[in-house]
Structure 1
Amino acid sequence: MKNWLKPSLLVFFSFLMLLVLAACGGGEGMQKVKVGEVTRSIFYAPLYVAIENGYFEEEGLEIDLSTIPGGDKTMTALLSDGIDVALVGSETSIYVAAQGANDPIKNFAQLTQTDGTFLVSREPIENFTWDMLKDSTFLGQRKGGMPQMVGEFVLKQHGIDPHGDLELIQNIDFANISTAFASGTGDFVQLFEPTASIFEEEGVGYIVASFGTESGHVPYTVFMAKDSFMNASPETVEAFTRAIKKAQDFVYSSSAEEVANAISPYFEDTEVDLIATVVDRYRAQESFAKDPILDEEEWNNLQNIMDEAGELPERIPYEELVDTTFAEKVTD
């Protein structure tokens, strides 16, 4: 009995070891990519679709996604190799380049192509016109960020001096803007979704205009990486971009409900019906980019908006900070 047990146990444990090795081998060849998003938003729906629908996995990529609030913090994480890829406003790459970075940040895949904020009024307005903002208190976004710059750009396009024709509040942190408005601060506020729609449902505020439709196409949120990372891992960057293109196709070819169901795990406190409403709204104004290519006209529009806001440190040529090589490869 004793002599029979030892070889049997040996065979048994050898079999177990083979199972363990086989299980571990299932992950072999998967390339881990650390991605940092500047905030969690339905505005970034294609990213979550790419994860949940397995498009990254199909490309051999394992995505480690983290939310890093604030463009400055996201860029710090990218520059210090805390993340490989950043999803953030493309203006941040200009700020970094203007400081003389030795390892430039390159924009390689565009996710959103319009501003994602909406103008919300405290009272319902049946026939809104932009001049209604004159002499009002406007709760705007953080100074230097894309929402604030686009907000001021749109106001000026409608003949409103943001710093002369109304009381502009810009000293409230991004995370607290909606709370401040709900508490009674401001006649108008500039908000992202789903907060704008939630406020409308609750009677806290009412959407009266879209900054996205007013400002035109800009590379509002873009995937970017250090030049050194892209040079060292071109296959990874191409695979990443291809997964994003698959997700962009899904977002525009599927129903809003299908998209909402796909991304609902990222918004557990938001009803799926509301997510679908927001997806539909962003899709109707083509806020989600239809392909990952960032074109030169969009880049120039971005710098014009920054310049108008007094936030452009210097004009950076398109070819210096934009690399469309991978986006063009995956877009037919």
Structure 2
Amino acid sequence: MMVTMKRSAVVMISMMMLLFAAACGSGGTNETATTNTPAPATEETTSPPANETGAEAAPQEITTVKFSEVIRSIFYAPHYVAMSKGFFEEEGLNVDMNTSQGSDKGAAALLAGTADISLVGPETAIFIHNQEGNKKLKIFYQLTMKDGSFLLSRTKADSFKWSDLSGKTVISWRPGSAPQMVFSSTLKQEGVADANVITNIAAPAMAAAFTGGQGDYIQVFEPLASTLINEGKAYYAASMGETFGSFPETSYVATSEYIEKNPAVIQKFVNAVAKGREWLNTASDDEIAEALAPFFEGTSKELIIQSVNRYKQQDTWPAKPELTAEAFEKLQGVLIENGVLKPEQKIANMTDVVDMTFVGKIGQ
């Protein structure tokens, strides 16, 4: 849907794109991105049930939330579960979802008012804060605490060592994106200085480039990683999440103005996603595959289960979805190390861009 932006929003977005075009963040995937939401609710109220006297009870008010996800990936399974299992509806929310194909675009949608809430890399809130514009973004729920990408190789090896990348070509993500920065920092951490890392291939074209013969390794998310492996087109080398450790890769973000005006909506949204995460912990493989299948058409039940289990094994979704001071410090350190944040731009007071009060009220 086309929406006319106010001049101030356009200026801010233009500045963000010019100064931080490389800074898109967040894990995602390049295989099944779509702007279609499976069977969204269309009515603003639910049918009123009858009470004990036979009279109709007051209808529940339904609030529509315009939501933008960075990219479609099983990495964000708790969110899709919250949609398919009706947890958002239980909270009185109708989530109108689209896929932005980049954290920069997700942030731009918030600034322009075409999205109320976006799932993006938390670094976008830092970048917007440093633009000193009229609108600020705030992180209110930390969905993932590991990088969600996996390194695959073209040829099979008995065991993988990071030194194997010496002199090899790796298809990675665009400069400034969270998976690219995690990969770059890992190479430095492992002492690999001469890998040829390709970062100029658009996300949807990465897999095709690799299967077409380009690159010795590729860095992808689930379910694409498992798909390539099962088709015999690639071999598992390493989990970036397990190698790099704890890292706040993907967060729910909204403008400060929206949060201030709609605290009840934010709390309901947080509650629903938390229910999705808890449900994933207790549901059977078959139940999980059934819940996620509408969001990953063409992906087999077996691959969905395999993908979810990979993310569970590396503790992707934290029990308490909180962006801590320690994690925020690590995030800014990675941004500085990768040259997308100047040391003098580092945010000293994380509450300028982080509000975890809603997370603290989950279950109350």
TM-score by length of structure 1 reads: 0.89
Structure 2 equivalent of residue 19 of structure 1:
none
Deviations 1:203-253 (A, max 9, x none): 111111011111221221111100010000111111110111111111122
In structure 2, relative to structure 1, the CA distance for the partners of 1:228 and 1:276 (3 Å cut) is same
The equivalent residue for 1:310 is 339
Q: Which AA in structure 1 matches 2:191? A: G
Look at both structures and tell me which one has the larger radius of gyration over its CA atoms.
1
What does 1:177-256 align with in structure 2 at a 5 Å threshold? 177-256=206-285
Query: Are residue 41 (structure 1) and residue 70 (structure 2) matched?
Result: no
Deviation sequence 1:264-314 (CA, Å, 0-9, x none): 110111001110000000000011232322111111111111111111242
What CA distance in whole angstroms lies between the structure 1 residues aligned with 2:153 and 2:257? Answer: 46
SS of match in other structure, 1:262? helix
Partners of 1:218 and 1:301 within 8 A in 2: yes
Distance 1:82 1:23, change over 3 A: closer
- Cα distance in 1 for residues equivalent to 2:158 and 2:268: 47
Q: Which has the higher helix share?
A: 1
Separation of aligned partners in 2, 1:306 and 1:209: 23
- Structure 1 letter corresponding to 2:124: T
What amino acid sits opposite 2:287 in the alignment? Answer: E
User: Compared with structure 1, are the counterparts of its residues 286 and 331 closer, same or farther at alpha carbon in structure 2 (3 Å cutoff)?
Assistant: farther
Q: Could you tell me which residue of structure 1 aligns to residue 195 of structure 2?
A: 166
CA contact 2:293–2:301 (8 Å) conserved in 1: yes
Helix, strand or coil at the partner of 1:330:
coil
SS of corresponding position for 2:143: strand
Match of 1:266 in 2: 295
What is the Cα deviation at residue 331 of structure 1?
5.4
Q: 1:210–1:331: structure 2 CA closer, same or farther, 3 Å change rule?
A: farther
Partner of residue 182 from structure 2, selected from 150, 168, 177: 150
Deviations 1:118-168 (A, max 9, x none): 01000111111100000111111101110100010111111112xxx1212
What is the alpha-carbon distance in structure 1 between the residues aligned to residue 78 and residue 299 of structure 2? 18
1:83 aligns with 2:115: yes
Q: What SS does the aligned partner of 2:361 have? A: helix
Cα distance 1:238–1:188, how it changes in 2: closer, same or farther (>3 A)? same
Equivalent pair of 2:60/2:92 in contact (CA under 8 Å):
no
Q: Deviations over 1:178-223 (max 9, x none)?
A: 1111111111111111111111111111111011111221221111
Aligned residues: 308
Contact 1:56 1:243 in 2 (8 A): yes
The aligned residue for residue 127 of structure 1 is 159
Deviation at 1:85, TM superposition (A): 0.1
The equivalent of 2:313 in structure 1 is 284
**Structure 1: where are the runs of 5+ without partners?**
1-21
